[in-house]
Structure 1
Amino acid sequence: MESDLLHTEKILADRKTFFLDLKENARGRVVKITEDVGGNRDTIMVPSEILGDFIAALSDIKATNDSQ
C-alpha cells in the first residue's frame, strides 16, 4: 500500500539514528518510528489516534527518569 510522507524528524544518539515519519495512506495516518544501528533497522508503527497516549506514556517515563 502506497503512503505519503507528511513530516519527518531525525534524532542522532551515539551510534543510533532514529527516524520519526508521519505518513498517510488510504487507511489513515501513522507515525513510523525506525531505529537504525549500523544498517540494521527496526520499525514500529503508531496509529495517529493514540499519539496522545503514546506521548503521555513517554512523558511519564521521562519524569521518572529525571527524578532519579
Structure 2
Amino acid sequence: MDSILESKELQIERKTFAIDLRENGRGRFLRITEESQGHRNVIIVPISGVDDFADAIDDVLAAEPAEQG
C-alpha cells in the first residue's frame, strides 16, 4: 500500500491535477493524476527521475515561442 508523504491539488480550466509524493515498498515516487470530464490519466515518475523530469519541463517551456497578442 502506498503512503502519501505530500500532496497538492490544482484546478486548471476544466481539469484537476493531483501531484502526490508517495512511498511504497519499492521506494518513493511522484504520482501525477489528471482528471477531466470523468476521465483519469496517471503518470508515475520514480524519485530518481524527478529532477530530470522537472528539467525537461523547464527546457520545453523555455523553448516555447512567445505568445503573440
Q: TM-score, normalised by structure 2?
A: 0.89
Distance 1:11 1:59 in 2: 19
**RMSD between aligned residues:** 0.9
Question: Partner residue of 1:46?
Answer: 45
Tell me, yes or no, if structure 1 residue 6 matches structure 2 residue 44. no
The amino acid across from 2:3 in the alignment is D
Q: Where in structure 1 are there 5+ consecutive unaligned residues?
A: none
- Secondary structure, aligned partner of 1:55: helix
- Secondary structure, aligned partner of 2:53: helix
Structure with higher Rg: it is 2
Runs of 4+ in 1 over 4 A off after TM superposition: none
- Secondary structure, aligned partner of 2:58: helix
How many residue pairs get aligned? The number is 66
